[in-house]
Amino acid sequence: MNTATAIRKQTIAKAMSEALASEMERDANVIVLGEDIGKLGGVFGNTGGLLEKFGANRVFDTPISETGFIGAAVGMAGAGMRPVVELMFVDFFGVCMDAIYNLAAKQAYFSGGQVSCPMVLMTSVGGGYGDAGQHSQCLYATFGHLPGMKVVIPSNAHDAKGLMLAAIRDENPVVFMFHKALQGMGWLGTVAGSITDVPEGDYEVPIGKAGVVREGTDITLVGLGVTVHHCLAAADALSREDGVEAEVIDIRTIAPLDRETILASVRKTGRVVVVDDDYLSCGLAGEVITSIAEAGIPLASPPQRISHPDIPIPFSPALEHAVLPNAEMTLAAARQSIGERA
Amino acid sequence: MTISNQSHRLWMYENMVKSRAFEDAIKPAYFEGKTPRFNMANGPIPGEMHLSDGQEPCAVGVCAHLHEGDTVTATHRPHHAAIAKGVDLDRMAAEIFGREAGLSGGRGGHMHLFDASVNFACSGIIAQGMGPALGAAMAAKLRGSDNVAVAYIGEGAANQGAFHEVMNLASVWRAPLIVVIEDNGYGVSVSKASCTAVARNADRAAAYAMPGIHVAGNDPDAIYEAAGEAIARARRGEGPSLIEIETSRLEGHFMGDQEGYRPEGEKDRLKAIDPIPRYRERLLADGFDTAELDACEKRAQQAVDAAFVFARGSALPDQASAFTSVFTERSAA
């Protein structure tokens, strides 16, 4: 293992492609397929350099046939390979969900454990850049709701590499979501906090474990992907302007959800705001708050959630930014929570 | 051909008979607890039941060419293909009864039979097996083996997007895939003629630059010949083929189907051309002796009887097992 300690600032895109390359080197069963992942290196940069390095027998561009190639990946995984598949936008799941939730997610169960399905489905999520409602959704809850799949989303490059290595090595289908606002593509704009030191060499960020990314005692802010950065920004303002120390939890794994880490924090702080940029109703924030309620944790003020309202994501920036969760909404909710008593 | 090099014909006959005997044993078991009032949830075999009576030639004519390492994905009407691929009959029966000793401990039932030891799987969504079969074919190709994969689908599945996506991909990738369309004329109740733009689905292969072979007559020998060529071609690395087989569904879409959509007298006409007695006659005419065929039938029946005894004797699964096998544990690297 390389133990170099030099700081290597990287984007999530670069960290993903580095993880893919190192695992492809280690394990000949790992192959990458999907739309535009070869010569282009992925629309979102996550497969850059792989075709040149590993050749067309391990990195192949597919036609725009998601049902076909995701279904094929299930067959490859069942035959002992480890396909990593790109579903460019999570919004596209509508044309291929059968291959995901009926095939990949049920192969282990319906075979009674005879046939596993070790595959990774990479897919971008999130809006904020005016791409409208068919290219900006998150759908965390949609995927988190369906059994048989693991679902992860990194908020920074360090976690992206470690989660990718863990995802490829997992024996199950892992939906690896990456948020476009964090990806590090020049043409998308990138939240600075997502670009972090990425250690060389081999490390995993365990699937199924949330992270405490800022310790605090007064209120718990829970986010994932880009909303972790909204929570961190709100926490900074609370500390600076209000003398309030917020604890920030990065969910990191949507399924299986690490309830324990969240509950432990809320037990300590007694206040909670959950921020996700997926649709509100029947959503992930609601699931987190339900878990807190079920645990019977006494709260000092009512739990709050900030999510995208139950409307399609609008195009015009004037509309989109009015409804997309952000740091200001998070800060306002936290202040309301601090000011209220249950 | 001399009789001595035609052992595959006896194998085909025995497996057709075994499949029919299996379905004949399913019928009374399925209706236990469902008469006089039909409620699908009742009896030792709940849920939908799709019998493959009449379609046995499609299974044996193709699978006679396959080894354990070759993959088969089948449909919601899977028993004949499973038997011809060599799926463990005892555990298959137990799975259909929802028992602990079933192939997947009762988690899947008759539409979700998996036997990894012979690379067989089936599923309940139309054309769904196309993708996994392509993937298994590509895994074989990428690893340099000469194994192939067969995707069985019904003629209704040729109108599904998954069919067309995978046909194109298989051709682009020159995958060792054989797509077998069992054309029984009906998607549940809707006739092929009323819902398909082409008279022959084999013609659709041309759109994907692959051979499309049409086999008439529900004839095991003709299917054997067509499949042999397609499978040999795939093993040689020359890419995929489509085989369309005209077959017949002697029963309804599912057990309990009233079949009011069939034209008057159709079922009688189909039963009159039941492929199994016809094949027995042909084998006798070709010089096989009665004793040999009787022995095939006896072995088949004994295997089925034993499988049903095994299934009924198997315990119901422990409730806690509903929560296992959702995920696969990672073994230490």
Give the CATH number of the domain where residue A102 resides.
3.40.50.970
Asked whether residue B206 is domain-assigned, the answer is yes
Residues A44, A191: one domain? Answer: yes
- Beta-bridge partner residues of A33: A60, A85
Asked whether residue A320 is domain-assigned, the answer is yes
Residues A20, A108: one domain? Answer: yes
CATH code, domain carrying B291: 3.40.50.970
**For residue A189, is it left (φ>0), alpha (ψ between -120 and 50) or beta?**
left
Long-range CB contact pairs, A263-269, < 8 A, 24+ = A263/A291, A263/A292, A263/A295, A263/A297, A265/A212, A265/A220, A266/A220, A266/A292, A266/A297, A266/A299, A267/A297, A268/A217, A268/A220, A269/A216, A269/A217, A269/A218, A269/A219, A269/A220
CB contact under 8 A, A78 and B135: yes
Residues A187, A219: one domain? Answer: no
Asked whether residue B250 is domain-assigned, the answer is yes
Residue A93 · residue A70 · CB < 8 Å: no
Q: What's the pLDDT tens digit per position in A17-44?
A: 999 999 999 999 999 999 999 999 999 9
Asked whether residue A205 is domain-assigned, the answer is no
- Residue B169's SS3 state is helix
Q: Is the ipTM of this complex over 0.90?
A: yes
Residues A41, A82: one domain? Answer: yes
Best mutation site among B120, B318, B328 for testing chain A: the one with the most A CBs within 10 Å?
A: B328
Query: Hey, what are A146's tokens?
Result: 């369906």
CB contact under 8 A, B130 and A71: yes
Asked whether residue B160 is domain-assigned, the answer is yes
Residues A164, A239: one domain? Answer: no
Residues A115, A251: one domain? Answer: no
Asked whether residue A226 is domain-assigned, the answer is yes
> Strand A30-34 and strand A59-61: pairing?
parallel
Residues A166, A272: one domain? Answer: no
How far is residue A117's CA from residue A71's CA, in Å, rounded to a whole number? 11
How far is residue A67's CA from residue B62's CA, in Å, rounded to a whole number? 26
- Kindly state the greatest CA–CA separation across chain A: 61
> Strand B177-183 and strand B241-246: pairing?
parallel
CATH code, domain carrying A217: 3.40.50.920
**Domain assignment of residue A296, given as a range:** 211-339
Asked whether residue B56 is domain-assigned, the answer is yes
Residues A112, A231: one domain? Answer: no
Asked whether residue A87 is domain-assigned, the answer is yes
Best mutation site among A35, A109, A149, A174 for testing chain B: the one with the most B CBs within 10 Å?
A: A109
Domain end position, chosen among A165, A197, A229: A197
Residues A188, A236: one domain? Answer: no
Residue A162 · residue A203 · CB < 8 Å: yes
Number of domains in chain A: 2
Q: Which of A334, A314, A332 is nearest to A323 (CA)?
A: A314
B137 CB neighbours in chain A (<8 A) are 75
Asked whether residue B234 is domain-assigned, the answer is yes
- Beta-bridge partner residues of A125: A179
Asked whether residue B21 is domain-assigned, the answer is yes
Domain end position, chosen among A197, A230, A250: A197
Domain end position, chosen among A197, A223, A255: A197
Asked whether residue B328 is domain-assigned, the answer is no
CB contact under 8 A, A75 and B135: yes
Residue B206 · residue B212 · CB < 8 Å: yes
Query: Is pLDDT of B249 > 50?
Result: yes
Asked whether residue A2 is domain-assigned, the answer is no
Q: How far is B128 from chain A (nearest CA, A)?
A: 8
Asked whether residue A304 is domain-assigned, the answer is yes
Asked whether residue B326 is domain-assigned, the answer is no
How far is residue A248's CA from residue A228's CA, in Å, rounded to a whole number? 7
How far is residue A341's CA from residue A277's CA, in Å, rounded to a whole number? 26
Side chain identity at residue B133, one-letter code:
A
Place of tokens 């790992």: A30
Asked whether residue A206 is domain-assigned, the answer is no
Nearest CB among A79, A116, A148 relative to B136 is that of: A79
Q: Which of A180, A168, A175, A178 is nearest to A204 (CA)?
A: A168
Residues A103, A45: one domain? Answer: yes
**Domain assignment of residue B214, given as a range:** 3-312
Nearest CB among A63, A79, A169 relative to B169 is that of: A63
Cβ-based burial of A163 (10 A; exposed 0-12, middle 13-18, buried ≥19): buried
The tens place of each residue's pLDDT in chain A, 342 residues long, gives 455 567 899 999 999 999 999 999 999 999 999 999 999 999 999 999 999 999 999 999 999 999 999 999 999 999 999 999 999 999 999 999 999 999 999 999 999 999 999 999 999 999 999 999 999 999 999 999 999 999 999 999 999 999 999 999 999 999 999 999 999 988 888 999 999 999 999 999 999 999 999 999 999 999 999 999 999 999 999 999 999 999 999 999 999 999 999 999 999 999 999 999 999 999 999 999 999 999 999 999 999 999 999 999 999 999 999 999 999 999 999 999 999 765
Rounded to 10 degrees, the C-alpha dihedral B106/B81/B287/B21 comes to 30
Q: What is the pLDDT of residue A6?
A: 72
Omega cis (within 30) before A312: no
Number of domains in chain B: 1
CB contact under 8 A, B125 and A57: no
